[in-house]
C-alpha cells in the first residue's frame, strides 16, 4: 500500500519537497475479503482446521506462481507484519524467482501442533505445520521440492511467517531496505488505551519547544471554546538523517516538513528548520509547523487527507492545503493580538508562505499541488483577517466534550 504524506513545500536554498496527503483505510493492510477461508476457526473441529490451513498453503503457492509478492506479504500473520518490512519480503522473493518459476503445491500432510517462530522466539500453541510438494523450474530444469510452511490462525483465516531467525531477517533488511511498513502496521494496531495514555502527556513534555507548544495551546483553546475534545499531535520531531515513520521512510534531503496521519506526528528536517530560521526568522518556521498542525486538525475533524479527492465531499488536495494555510493565518492573528509576536514576524509568515508556492505549470488537481504563492498568501490572509471561521472549518464536527 502506498502511503502519501502531506508536505509544506519549501522553495528555499534548493530544498524542495513533494506534497500530497495520506489516505488509506487501515483495513487495507488486512484485506480479509480476499482471504479464502471464511469460517470462524473456533467453531470448526480439528479436521476442518487442518483442511482450512492446507487450503491457505495452496493459495499462497498460487500467489508465488503469479509472483504477486505484495499480496503474499498481506497474507502474513499480523505478528510477522509487525516485525518484517514489506521491502525485505518482496526483495527476497524477487531475487529467488529471478531464475525460477513454480506452480500450485500439493499438500502431503497437515499437523496441528505448537510452533515457535525463530525470529521472535514466540511459541504459538494453535499452529499448523503444512507439509507439501511443489514443482519448480530452475534455469530450465524441472524438479519437485518438498517443504513445510507454518501457519497460525488469526481472525477467520491463517497467516504465515517470513524467516527462521533474526539474523536472516537482518540480512534481508540490509539487502532490500526497510520501507517502514512494519512500523506502520504496528502503529496502526495501537490500542485505544495506548492513545488515551498519550493524551495524558503534559504539553511541556510532548512539545518541549515553546514555539510548538504555543500552537498546541492555541488549538486547545479553540476546541475548548467549541465544547469539543482536542487531541494534540503525538509530537513534533526533527530528523537530521533518514528515519522510518508510520508513513514510510523520510529523508531530510528530500522532505522538509510533513504531517503523518498514521502516527499523528509532525516531522521536519532539522537542516531545513535552521535554514528558515537563519535566513527568514523563527516565526517563519512557526508558520510552517502551524500549517502542518492544520492538517492534524483536519484529520481530527474527519477530513479525508487522501491523494485523490474525497469521494463524498470532492475536496481536492489543493483545497486542503490552502485551508491549512488559512488555519496558520488564524493562529498568527491570535498570536499577534495576544502580544506574543515580535515586530516583523507577520512579514516573515507572509514571505515563507509566498515562496512556498507551486512551480509554474503545476496543475490545480495535481495531488502535490498547494497553490501559487499568491493563492497561498490569499488563503493565509483569510485566516489572519477573520480567524478559523473564515477557513470553512467547523469544530462542531469534533468529539463533544463530556
Looking at 7-84, list the stretches that DSSP marks H as alpha helix, in order from N- to C-terminal side.
Answer: 46-65, 69-74, 78-81
Q: Do residues 333 and 384 touch, judged by C-beta distance below 8 A?
A: yes
pLDDT of res. 35: 25
Rg (CA), the chain: 25
Closest CA to 60 of 45, 50, 75: 75
**Phi and psi based region of residue 314 (left: phi greater than 0; alpha: psi -120 to 50; beta: remaining):** left
* Phi and psi torsions of 393, nearest 5°: -120, 125
Task: Report d(CA 283, CA 286) in Å as an integer.
Answer: 5
**Mean pLDDT per 10-residue interval, the chain, length 402 residues:** 32 30 19 29 65 95 94 90 88 92 95 92 92 93 93 91 90 81 55 50 88 96 93 92 78 88 90 94 96 94 59 66 96 95 95 88 76 93 95 86 72
pLDDT of res. 228: 92
pLDDT of res. 261: 85
pLDDT of res. 33: 25
pLDDT of res. 204: 85
pLDDT of res. 200: 65
Q: What are the structural domains of the chain?
A: 6-25+192-397 (no CATH), 36-155 (3.10.450.100)
C-alpha distances out from residue 373 to 15, 352, 353, 369, Å: 16, 9, 7, 11
Amino acid at each position: 500500500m502506498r502511503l502519501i504524506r502531506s508536505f509544506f513545500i519549501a522553495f528555499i536554498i534548493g530544498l524542495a519537497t513533494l506534497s500530497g496527503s495520506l489516505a488509506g483505510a487501515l483495513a487495507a493492510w488486512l484485506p480479509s475479503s480476499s482471504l479464502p477461508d471464511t469460517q470462524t476457526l473456533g467453531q470448526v473441529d480439528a479436521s476442518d482446521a487442518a483442511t482450512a490451513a492446507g487450503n491457505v498453503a495452496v493459495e499462497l503457492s498460487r500467489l508465488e506462481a503469479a509472483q504477486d509478492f505484495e499480496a503474499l506479504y498481506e497474507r502474513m500473520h499480523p505478528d510477522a507484519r509487525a516485525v518484517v518490512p514489506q521491502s525485505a519480503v518482496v526483495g527476497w522473493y524477487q531475487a529467488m524467482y529471478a531464475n525460477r518459476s513454480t506452480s500450485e503445491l500439493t499438500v502431503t500432510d497437515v499437523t496441528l501442533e505448537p510452533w515457535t517462530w525463530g525470529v521472535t522466539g514466540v511459541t504459538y500453541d494453535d499452529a499448523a505445520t503444512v507439509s507439501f510438494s511443489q514443482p519448480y523450474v530452475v534455469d530450465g530444469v524441472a524438479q519437485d521440492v518438498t517443504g513445510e510452511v507454518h501457519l497460525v490462525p488469526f481472525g477467520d483465516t491463517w497467516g504465515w511467517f517470513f524467516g527462521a531467525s533474526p539474523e536472516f531477517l537482518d540480512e534481508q533488511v540490509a539487502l532490500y531496505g526497510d520501507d517502514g511498513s512494519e512500523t506502520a502496521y504496528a502503529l496502526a494496531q495501537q490500542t485505544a488505551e495506548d492513545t488515551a495514555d498519550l493524551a495524558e502527556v503534559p504539553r511541556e513534555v510532548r512539545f518541549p519547544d515553546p514555539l510548538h507548544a504555543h500552537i498546541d495551546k492555541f488549538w486547545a483553546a479553540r476546541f475548548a471554546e467549541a465544547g469539543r475534545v482536542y487531541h494534540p499531535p503525538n509530537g513534533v520531531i526533527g530528523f537530521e538523517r533518514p528515519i522510518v515513520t508510520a508513513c514510510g521512510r523520510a529523508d531530510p534531503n528530500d522532505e522538509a516538513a510533513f504531517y503523518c496521519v498514521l502516527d499523528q506526528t509532525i516531522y521536519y528536517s532539522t537542516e531545513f528548520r535552521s535554514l528558515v530560521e537563519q535566513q527568514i526568522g523563527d516565526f517563519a518556521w512557526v508558520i510552517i509547523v502551524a500549517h502542518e498542525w492544520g492538517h492534524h486538525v483536519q484529520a481530527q475533524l474527519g477530513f479525508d487527507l487522501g491523494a485523490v479527492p474525497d469521494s463524498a465531499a470532492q475536496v481536492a488536495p489543493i483545497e486542503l492545503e490552502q485551508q491549512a494555510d488559512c488555519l496558520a493565518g488564524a493562529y498568527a492573528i491570535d498570536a499577534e493580538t495576544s502580544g506574543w509576536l515580535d515586530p516583523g514576524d507577520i512579514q516573515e509568515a507572509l514571505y515563507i508562505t509566498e515562496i512556498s508556492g507551486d512551480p509554474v505549470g503545476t496543475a490545480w488537481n495535481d495531488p502535490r499541488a498547494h497553490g501559487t504563492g499568491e493563492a497561498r498568501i490569499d488563503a493565509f490572509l483569510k485566516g489572519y483577517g477573520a480567524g478559523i471561521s473564515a477557513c470553512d472549518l467547523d469544530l462542531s464536527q469534533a468529539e463533544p466534550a463530556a
